[in-house]
Structure 1
C-alpha cells in the first residue's frame, strides 16, 4: 500500500482521495478486481486509472521486485521533497551570470564600413576593404575611441583604395544606422539594447570643396557695384536695377525665405531708403505701392514708368476701372545649405500648388548674393535634389528603400508641406523621390498597396539582414537560426519562426514596418 501511495503522490492525486483509499482499505488486490466505473469514483482521470492498473499488474507479476521498487520510489520521493525545500537555483545562476557580465572589462562587437556613393550609404564588402570585423573593446570606450579603432581597421596608414581619410566626413552609427551619442559607452549601449552582439558602422562621405569660378567672381563684383550705386540714386534708378534680375514683361512677386531674414538685393541693410522717398505712383494697370522696409518678407515689383508725386495726390492717379491682371511670377528665395527647412516653410502655403502664377526658385549663397542661373528647370531640380537628400537623412529609415518615421517636431502642417513638394515637383519637373519605398506612395495616393510588401521590406532592411532573410526563404532548415532570431528581434517579432509560418511572419513584419508605423505620415 505504501508503494501505491507514493505512486499516487507522484501523479499529484489529491490527498483526500488517498485518505479515502486508506479508509476503505483499498489495496493492490482490490484495485485489480475493480471495474473501470468503480475506479472512476476514486480516479476521475483516465490516465491515472491506467497508471494505477499498470502498477497493480506489475506488483502481481513481480512480487520479488517489490522491495527494490519500493526503495527506488522512496528515493525519488525523497529527492522531490528535497528540491521543494531548497531555494530556487535558477535565480541564483542568473544573478551569477549577470555578475560575471558586469565584471567584464571588455565586450565583443562587430564593426563595418558604409560609404556614401552619392545616392546613399552602401556597406563595403571585404574585397573593397570593408567587411564585418569582430573585435573585443573595453566597456568604457566611447564614440571617439570606436571611430579611431575603425579608422585603423578600414584605413590602414590613413588611406585605402577610396582615398585618404582626410577627404571624408566621418561618423559612427549603430545597427539601426543612427549616429552614436558622444558620451555613451559600449557597456551602457549593451545594457540599453540587451543585444548579445552589437554592430557599429563607420560612415564616410566625400567632402565637397567649394570652388569659386570666374563667373561667380564677376557676379560678386556686379552685385557690389549695384549696392554702391543704389546708395546715391533715387528710386527710379533702383527700379531699373531690379529689371536686371527679372523680366520686364510681367509682374514679379518676390517671396523671401520665411525661415531666414538674410539680406537680399531688394531688402538690404546697405540699401537703406527713407520712408519719405517711397511716395511714388506706377503708371500701370495694377498699382501696388512697394515698401522696402516692410517686415512681411514679400515685395511686389511692377513694371512701368515711375513718377514721383506727393502722397496726398496719390489717389488721383489710380484708375477708376482696373483692367484684368496679368499673370504674375512668384519667386521663392531659399539659401544654399538651408533648403530643407526653408522649402518646407514655403510650401506650408497650400496656395502654391493651386495658383495660376508661375513659380520659380532662386538660390542665395552664404554671402547674400544670388547664384548665377535662370530657373528653366535646372535650378528647381537642383533645389529638390538637395531637399530630398536632406529628407532621407533626417526623416527616414532604411537601406535601398526609405520609410519616413515620426518626429516630435514634425506635425500635420509640415508633413502636408512635404506632400505638396512631391506634388509640385511632379507637376513642374516630373520629379519623384524614387528612394521612398513604392508602397509608401501607393498607400498615400491610392489608399491601397499593389507592390510586393516583402520585396519592399527586403530592400528596406540592411544588407546583412536581407541576406539572412533571403537564405531562410530559400532553405529555412539550413539557415543560421541564431542570426534569424536576432534579425527578427530587431523588428519586434512575437512568434517563433518555423518553415511553415516564416512567409506569414515576413509579410506581417513588412506590413507593420511599411504601412502601420508610418500611417500618420501617409
Structure 2
C-alpha cells in the first residue's frame, strides 16, 4: 500500500495541474498503480490531455521508494548514473585497483619466447642479408627464456647450413657470430634470451647469424707461401736430363696434383722426368727453389724462368697440351703446362683455372707474326664461348688476328670437317645473335635489348662481338633497330625513325588497332594502359602521345645498354649515323637484295635453274630469305656483293641436293626437271634444323 504522505503529495500535484482526483481517490489509485496504467486507462480516469499524462508519469518516476534493505532508491533513469558515479568514486579512492586485479596474469608467466632469426653474410666489403632463394630468409623460432645466445647461434647454423653445407660453401669455411637487429655483435654468448629482451626493450625480438669466410691463409698453398723459409718443405725437383728417359709430353708424366685446401698434408710440387734439356732450369738449384716458392701466389701458378738457351732447346719438346671447354672426364685438380709465346716462362696451372681460357693453337712452322688465333666454339654454345673468347683475348687482339679462324665442335664432341676462311665465322656470328635475340631482347620484327640482372658484365662483350663481326665480315645484326644503334653512336634519332621502329616492335593486331584510330575502342584503351599512358588521348595529341610511348620503349628502357655499348661502338665502328640506315637496308635479307647478288653462268644449261632460283627467292618470306642466306653464305644478312650459282650434274638422283660453299660464296645446284621439284627439295632443305659443314 502506498504511504499516506506519498499519496497526498501525488494528489496535490494532480490538483495543481487541474486534474480531478476524486475518481483516483475513490478507486485508491496511487503512484505505483499509475506507473502500470496505459494511456487509455489514464484517459478513462480523467486525464485526457497528453501533457498531463507525461507529467504524471514523470512525477511518479521521481518519487523515491524503499529498497530491499530499507534504504530509499530511485527507479528509472536515475539508477544507472548513480552506479557509474559509485564506480568512479571507488577508482579515485584506489588508483591501483586495476593492477591488483591483473596480479597473477598467466600471460606474464610464460617460460618461452617466440623470435625471428636471419642470416647476414660479410663478403669483406659490406654486409648483405642472404635471401630465402639462396638458403637464407627469415626463420621463426621459439625458445625458453633461459636459452643462451650460444645455443641460439648453434641452432641457426644448423638451419642455414643443413648437413654442414650451404650455397656459399661448407660450414668449416666460415666464422660465425650472433648480432642484433642493428648488426651489433653479441660478445657475451652466455646471455639468455630474457637478458637480450630486457636490454633491447623490444618485445618482437629479431636476431641475425653473421657469417664471414675464414682467411685464405689457412689453405695448404698459402701455408707453403708463408713458411717458404722452412727446411722441411717439399723440394721442386728439376727435370731429369738422362738420355735414356722416354720421350713424352711433360704433362702426361705429371702424376702429382695440387689438392684441395681441405687436405692436411701439403702436396709436393714435382716436375716430372722428360727429355727436356739440361738448361731448362739454368740457375743455381737453391736459388731456383726459392724463386719458385716466392712466385707461387694465390692463383696457384708456379713459374720457372728460363734463359735463352733453354728456350731455344724447347723447340722440339711437346710442352703444350691442348684443351677445350667442358672437361667432363678430368679431375678438377689436374695440372696443366701452358707455354707463353711472348715471354720465356713456363707456367704450371690447375685445370679448373684454365676453364675460362681459350687455347691458342699455333703451328710450329709459323713465326710469331704469322701466328693467328683459332677459336674453339661449341655448336649450341656459341654465345657463351664467343663472349669468353672476347673476355680472355680482348677485342684488340682479335681484331689484329686476321684471318680469325673458328673451329666448330658438334654436340657429340666431334669437330666439324670445315676449314674456316670466313664462312664458319659468319655462321658463328649468326648463331650468336640468334641466341642474343632469344635471351635478351624484346619481341617483334625489330628488337632492342632488354635488361637482365644476370647480364651486367656481358653487355660490353656483346658490343665487342658486334664490332668484331662488322670489322672482320661486314656483318651487323639486322634485327636491331636503327634508332637504337644511332643513339649508341651518339646521334639523336628523328621522331619518325623512333615511331616507325616502335610500330615494327608491336604485334600486328595492335598495329591494326592504332591504324583504326578509335579512341573509345576497348583494345585501344588496353594498349594505352599497357604502356602506362595517364593522359586523355584525342586527335589533337595522339601523335605526341605515340612518340612518347615509342621513345620510352626504343630509347629510354634500353638506356643502360646504350651507355655500355656507346663508347665501344663509337671507338671501333667507322659508320656515320646518317648512313647507318642505308647500310642496314643493304644488309636486310629481302628478295630484292638477294636477287642483286645472284650471279649465274652464261650458258644455256644454267638458264632454267636461274629462272627457278629467282622465282623461288621472289616468293620467299623474310624468314626463308634469312635461312637461304645462312645456307649459302653462313650469314643471315647480305654480306657479300656476289653469290655465284653453278649448275652441276650428279650421277644419281639420291645424291642430288644443293651444296653451298660458304667461304667462297658459291651455290651448286643440280638439274631439276621442273620448278615443283626444285621448290620442294630446296624448301625441305631450308626447313632443316641442322646443317653440318663438311667441306674442307
State the TM-score, normalized to the length of structure 1.
Answer: 0.41
Larger radius of gyration: 2
**Structure with larger RCO (C-alpha < 8 A, sep 6+):** 1
State the TM-score, normalized to the length of structure 2.
Answer: 0.31
